[in-house]
Structures are given as C-alpha cells and as structure tokens.
Amino acid sequence: MARQSTGIASLDDLLGGGLLPGTLTVVMGATGIGKTQLGLGYANAGTQQEGQRGILFDLTSRGDSQNHAEYAKRLCDWDLTEKSLRGNAILDANLNKTIWDPTLARRDYLHLFEHSGKRVTATDMDSDQWREWKYEQAKKLDQAIGFFYGNFAHGVRRCVIDGVEPAVKAADSIQLELFEYIYHQILRKEHDWVARDLFRVGFRENQEMIKTHSYDHQELGCLLLYTSHEVMLDDLITRPIQSGDVLSNANTIILMGKTREGNKMGRALHVAKHRGSACDESLVPYQITESGLQLS
C-alpha cells in the first residue's frame, strides 16, 4: 500500500518514504511549536495522492480554535468548509424516513466543542461536572461519526485531529477518551459497521447508497496533534510513556520542540518511533515560514 506524504519531502525521507496508512501517527510538542502547520501540510498533500484533501477535527474546548482557516488559506490557498453542529449534515428527513443525501456530507472541518469553555481532565472537575461533560460528549458523538463517515465515503483518506490539550494523566483526559473511541470505532472499523452506528434504524433503506460509497478503512491515515507540557525537545525525548498513553499505541511518533545552542533558541524535530519502516533518528532543525515548515 502506498505511503502517505506528509507534504514535506525531506520529512518523508526521514520516514523512509512517508507515513503508513492504516496506522496512527502522533505529533507531539508544546503550543506554538508548529504542529498545526505540519498537520495542514499533511492534509493538503491528499490532493495529489488521493484526489481529496484530508479533514480536520478540532477538539479544543477552552478558548478559540487553532486558526485553522487562516493557516489553511495562507499556507495552502485552501478555503476550509466547516460542518455545522446544528442538525446532522449527512441526513435528510423525507417522508418520515432517514435518507442519506451524499451531497451534504463533504466538509473539511469540525470544531466539536466550540466555545464550550470547559476543562478536559477529571482532576479539573467534580463528579457533577464530569457527568455533564460526558453528556455533552454523548450528544455530539453522532456529529463526529457523520463527519468522518461522510468524508471517507467521498474519497478522503487522511484526517488530522487537533486541539488535544496536555493532561497530567492521559487516562483522565476526556479529549483522549473521545479520541480512543473515534480511532477504534470509526477509523479502524469496516465502513458498513460505521454506517450501522450512524444510520441505525435507517441502515436498510440507505444500504445501496452505503455500498456505492464503500471505502477500505485500512487506507485511512490519522495524524493526532498532541500538545505537551514539555517545551524542550530533550525533555520530550526522555518523557516516560504511561500505561494507556496514546503514544504507546501509535505506530509513528514525531516530537517537535525547542533547542538551545549557546545563547540562541531554535526548533527541531525527531522521529522517535516508526514501526515497520526504517527511519532517520537525527534531530533535524526546522523553521516556521510563510509557506509552512522548512527542515534544515
């Protein structure tokens, strides 16, 4: 199966030719280190390889999103189309039946917890606040399923999940809990089983349309942008992986952090893990430019 380009030829070379579809890649680093620019470059590279750009799923719950629309326009001349949280943009009511209208399904971006202003870890909340968070998550789960399924049915083969905030314990993060569901129950399930979860009682009446828009889940690539407490690259490299940490299950881990040389600060990345492939383990300096990341 063809590897997926990151959109940066020199990074593809470090990865032995690119990322492996059907696996999880985690890009980890502090806020402002360039993760979103890397993610957008990867999504945009889908145009050349699959004929469709990738999609962006934003889990930010406090403050604003990561300026994805501005970055996409400036870096890739890409006008993001956003999926609304009002109603289900993959389904239409027709004669009291749930009919799938494929023309509604293709959208580039979904900000699931927009303006919720909520903290994301169990240690930040009492039991009532945690239950409220879980209720909000459950309400929006159909929106997430519809967003991913509708895009994959249209030929999208890569997704970027952004906005995951740092947590002392990964097991306490409601964002990572939702990511685990998305990864195992949407991205790594056969397309017709995802369709069953989405359409439920309407599955039979949409079965022919579902078959027409089938896809192979093993062709899907996923880039998770994970914000760390650690800022320095050396600290990221020595960071211990906890039991249940998403990093332990990732096929590929790319670390991005600050470096110090004398009285100057810089940025560098390191491919810490890349199962099933040879990779270059160098510390590679990079710059953030108007056209995205440039590796030295």
Domains held by the chain: number? 1
Whether 216 maps to a domain, the answer reads yes
Whether 2 maps to a domain, the answer reads no
Here the CATH number for the domain that contains residue 217 is: 3.40.50.300
**What are the phi and psi torsion angles at 279 (to 5°)?**
-150, 160
pLDDT higher than threshold 50 for residue 96: no
d(CA 280, CA 123): 38
Whether 115 maps to a domain, the answer reads yes
pLDDT at residue 154, as a whole number: 94
Please count the residues of the chain. 296
Whether 4 maps to a domain, the answer reads no
pLDDT higher than threshold 90 for residue 101: no
Whether 46 maps to a domain, the answer reads yes
Reported as a single tens digit per residue, the pLDDT across 228-269 is: 999 999 999 998 877 667 888 899 999 999 999 899 999 999
Whether 1 maps to a domain, the answer reads no
What average pLDDT score do residues 88-113 get?
71
Helix runs in the chain, H state only: 9-14, 35-44, 46-49, 68-76, 127-153, 174-182, 191-199, 207-212, 233-237, 246-249
Nearest to 174 by CA among 138, 134, 227: 134
Spell 68-102 as b/e; 16+ CB within 10 A means b: bbebbeebbebebebbebeebbbbeeeeeebebee
Nearest to 35 by CA among 146, 147, 163: 163
What's the mean pLDDT when you consider all of the chain? 88
Question: In the structure, what pLDDT confidence band is assigned to residue 95 with cuts at 50, 70 and 90?
Answer: very low
Exposure of 183 in the CB half-sphere (CA atoms within 13 A): 21
Whether 75 maps to a domain, the answer reads yes
Reported as a single tens digit per residue, the pLDDT across 114-169 is: 756 666 676 777 788 778 878 888 888 888 999 999 999 999 999 999 988 887 77
Structural contact between residues 175 and 71, judged by C-beta atoms closer than 8 angstroms: no
**Owning domain of residue 151:** 9-295
pLDDT at residue 86, as a whole number: 66
First to last CA, the chain: 29
Whether 28 maps to a domain, the answer reads yes
Nearest to 31 by CA among 160, 164, 123, 178: 164
Question: In the structure, what pLDDT confidence band is assigned to residue 64 with cuts at 50, 70 and 90?
Answer: low
pLDDT, greater one: 69 or 84 = 69
